[in-house]
Amino acid sequence: MAENVFQLKIVTPERVFFDEPVQMVEFNTTEGEVGIYANHVPITLIISPGVLRITTAEGEKKAALHAGFVEVLPDKVTILAEIIEWPDEIDEERATEAERRARERIAARQDGVDLDRAEISLKKAIARINALR
């Protein structure tokens, strides 16, 4: 089994979020959802808001990952995350409220409403709620 694990390092500008050997990591990118195993071809991917799933020998871990990018090397994956949260750092009420607000704003389609921004906050809110479940 040992050859099937790789080092996953998640860093934010403010702290080292995660640094352990893992079997698989899944996240959402601008090109769609991806899952990465060890010995992946070297690639750099850009994150879009979604749930990060980490599979280790002990089980699965989730986090809400909102922005940043990922550098994949055969034996090492580095996620440079601008915003990332463990489920216990998420306020469910606030996320639900944000989801509702974002949906309203998109539905209203009023002048002066920034649709891109509303969509991003909707995606973030959904990622947060999904990370909790």
Binding positions for other proteins, rule: CB under 8 A:
11-16, 29-31, 41-46, 67-69, 71, 78, 80, 82
User: Which C-beta is closer to other proteins: that of 39 or that of 57?
Assistant: 39
4 or 44: whose CB is closer to other proteins? Answer: 44
CB nearer to other proteins: pick between 60 and 117: 117
Please, what is the minimum distance in Å from the beta carbon of residue 57 to other proteins?
25
Q: How far is the CB of 28 from other proteins (least distance, A)?
A: 13
Minimum CB separation from other proteins for residue 50, in Å?
15
Task: For residue 112, list its beta bridge partners.
Answer: none
HEC profile for 25-68? EEEEECCEEEEECCCCCCEEEEECCEEEEEEECCEEEEEEEEEE
Q: Shortest Cβ distance from residue 12 to other proteins (Å)?
A: 7
Q: Which helix (H) or strand (E) holds 85?
A: strand 76-85
Question: Residue type at 76?
Answer: K
CA dihedral 89, 133, 33, 75 (to 10 degrees): 60
